[in-house]
Structure 1
Amino acid sequence: MKTSITTFVALALASLSLATPTVKRHGPGKRGLVWPYYNGGLDPGRLNDGQGTVNLIYDYETYNPPSTNGNGGLNFIGMQRCLDCDSSPISQLATRQQQSGFATVFTLNEPDQNGITPQQAADWYKQHINPLTIKKALPAVSSSANAGQGLDWVQQMVSACGGGCFYDYINIHWYGQNFAQFQAHVNDAHARFPNNQIVVTEFALQNPAGGQADQLNFFKQAFAFLDSASFVAMYFPFVATSPSLFQSNDPAGAGFVGTGSTLYNNDGSISAVGQLLLSA
């Protein structure tokens, strides 16, 4: 059969269009939402673009995220944030994991700031966390550089475990003045624990003078760095709420961080920082 040049070109272009993806996925699947308990009127699905750019969510608890849309189609990570909480009883951890089906668990929120010793945490972890046959993170520590806090506390807990704690991730928080400090802290965590993946479950500038503009500039650099760091498994900018909800429900936190890093606007739409999380 004779084929004209015009027909051949048309067929070639059609073949090329089928072979080329029409949608660009921005994120590498590391990005997630820190979802506070007071977010019942917000929808995490607004930050789910269907491409996996943002694909994770945690709410400091072992119950599903309070919202107008459940987990918004994101992968929920349970967190046993304290030794035993009324909201997340340690006796219910295994049952809630089976009911919700979360495949990763975070543990203890900043125990280095809450009077929990590394030995106490190690004993608790062996009893309650080791038996879970899912991915596990060591307790989330602050970025304090004081002796016995922050990364020092984690090292002391690992020593107290004596090889008997089973974990997949080192969990860190960071608040500070600039990107260089943040990058140095994440790299320090990697240097101390070179054989483990890092998860950064809270981070933002500490109440910068430039508000949202300064946070945006910081996050642009931070997201690019974290995306390129093979040793970083997940990261969660603080915080997935609105300025008004943050201020009214956690005034101390809002005073410490400022409201420029929130991922939502007061009307429930996505903020400039939230848009950056979806597009950077």
Structure 2
Amino acid sequence: MQVSLTAFVTFALDYLFVTPTVQHGPGKRGLVWPYYNGGLDPGRLNDHQGTVNLIYDYETYAPPSSNGNGGLAFIGMQRCLDCDSSPISKLAARQQQLKFSTVFTLNEPDLNGISPGQAADWYKQHINPLAIKKALPAVTSSTDPGKGLSWVQQMVNACSGGCHFDYINLHWYGQNFAQFKAHINDAHSRFPHNKIVITEFALQNPPGGQADQINFFKQAFPFLDSASFVEMYFPFVATSPALFKSHDPNGAAFVGTGSTLYNNDGTISAVGQLLLKA
């Protein structure tokens, strides 16, 4: 087949100057989406450039919102052994229906009276069969004996190699970035061969409110972006101050409302705007 010189030059120029697909963000950032967020739109935090690309709602049903999952990738979570809202009997069917490719498991079992051995047996029965990415239960940052990372290690020991998982799942609340960084690095040193996801994190009700949270996240986001062992992270929490205080007053008192990603009118807060920056 003969190709004219003009056609060849035109093709070469088109190839050289084609605009590449650009991902603005690191592909690690996501939204913690509470059940009471029905009037908010997660799409407001989707810039369609991959800066924020994930969402979970502690359940195996689709996120309640004014715009579905807002174009973000939904991650199912079986937050308890068996919930009315997310029955364990429906986990596999919901995964097939919603096509989520990752599942989170058990929300803070180290505080909820679930032993590592019980969790291991449950995990083998219900989570192992799912042919998708899997995270071990999300534990607190408590350093008390038998809690936090020590609980995870005890569960791994109880699994005796029989639990198939991709991620260590962490929550963290504390006083400053140095503590946060030390905790994440500690988790990595204990589980060096596993990726880490941080599915809740913020300062614990800092005196400076939103300004303190912003200063913390300005340090935390770049650290997590650059850490190759961190797969995903979700600052707490993707709601508004009014909704947070109304539906979870204990949580709002513990964390404060300065880390919420929305304002009361549904627009993106200063913390949310920070999450949208590369």
For residue 41 of structure 1, what is the amino acid of its counterpart?
G
Q: 1:205-229 CA deviation, whole Å, 9 max, x = no partner?
A: 0000000000000001000000000
Q: CA RMSD in A?
A: 1.6
In structure 1, how many angstroms separate the alpha carbons of the residues matched to 2:173 and 2:237?
A: 12
In structure 2, how many angstroms separate the alpha carbons of the residues matched to 1:68 and 1:195?
A: 39
Gaps of 5+ in 1: 1-10
1:40 pairs with one of 20, 35, 38: 38
In structure 1, how many angstroms separate the alpha carbons of the residues matched to 2:112 and 2:217?
A: 28
Paired residues, number? 267
Query: C-alpha displacement at 1:25, in angstroms?
Result: 4.0
In structure 2, how many angstroms separate the alpha carbons of the residues matched to 1:19 and 1:191?
A: 43
In structure 2, how many angstroms separate the alpha carbons of the residues matched to 1:240 and 1:196?
A: 27
1:37-186 pair list within 5 angstroms: 37-186=35-184
TM-score by length of 1: 0.93
1:153-232 pair list within 5 angstroms: 153-232=151-230
1:18 and 2:22 equivalent? no
Query: C-alpha displacement at 1:199, in angstroms?
Result: 0.1
For residue 247 of structure 1, what is the amino acid of its counterpart?
K
Q: 1:199-250 CA deviation, whole Å, 9 max, x = no partner?
A: 0000000000000000000001000000000000000000000000000000
In structure 1, how many angstroms separate the alpha carbons of the residues matched to 2:223 and 2:26?
A: 12
Helix, strand or coil: the match of 1:27?
A: coil
For residue 72 of structure 1, what is the amino acid of its counterpart?
G
Query: C-alpha displacement at 1:195, in angstroms?
Result: 0.2
TM-score by length of 2: 0.93
Query: C-alpha displacement at 1:27, in angstroms?
Result: 1.6
For residue 166 of structure 1, what is the amino acid of its counterpart?
H
Helix, strand or coil: the match of 1:137?
A: strand
For residue 46 of structure 1, what is the amino acid of its counterpart?
R
In structure 2, how many angstroms separate the alpha carbons of the residues matched to 1:249 and 1:17?
A: 54
For residue 41 of structure 2, what is the amino acid of its counterpart?
D
For residue 128 of structure 2, what is the amino acid of its counterpart?
N
For residue 158 of structure 1, what is the amino acid of its counterpart?
V
In structure 2, how many angstroms separate the alpha carbons of the residues matched to 1:166 and 1:24?
A: 34
In structure 1, how many angstroms separate the alpha carbons of the residues matched to 2:98 and 2:63?
A: 11
Helix, strand or coil: the match of 1:234?
A: strand
For residue 40 of structure 2, what is the amino acid of its counterpart?
L
For residue 201 of structure 2, what is the amino acid of its counterpart?
F
Aligned to 1:277: 275
In structure 2, how many angstroms separate the alpha carbons of the residues matched to 1:16 and 1:122?
A: 53
Aligned to 1:242: 240
Q: 1:170-192 CA deviation, whole Å, 9 max, x = no partner?
A: 00000000000000000000000
In structure 1, how many angstroms separate the alpha carbons of the residues matched to 2:195 and 2:31?
A: 19
In structure 1, how many angstroms separate the alpha carbons of the residues matched to 2:45 and 2:16?
A: 28
For residue 187 of structure 1, what is the amino acid of its counterpart?
N
Identity of aligned residues (%): 81
State the 4+ residue runs in structure 1 displaced beyond 4 angstroms: 14-17
In structure 1, how many angstroms separate the alpha carbons of the residues matched to 2:54 and 2:243?
A: 21
In structure 2, how many angstroms separate the alpha carbons of the residues matched to 1:107 and 1:133?
A: 15
For residue 249 of structure 1, what is the amino acid of its counterpart?
H
In structure 2, how many angstroms separate the alpha carbons of the residues matched to 1:53 and 1:230?
A: 17
In structure 2, how many angstroms separate the alpha carbons of the residues matched to 1:208 and 1:19?
A: 48
For residue 147 of structure 1, what is the amino acid of its counterpart?
P
Query: C-alpha displacement at 1:15, in angstroms?
Result: 7.9
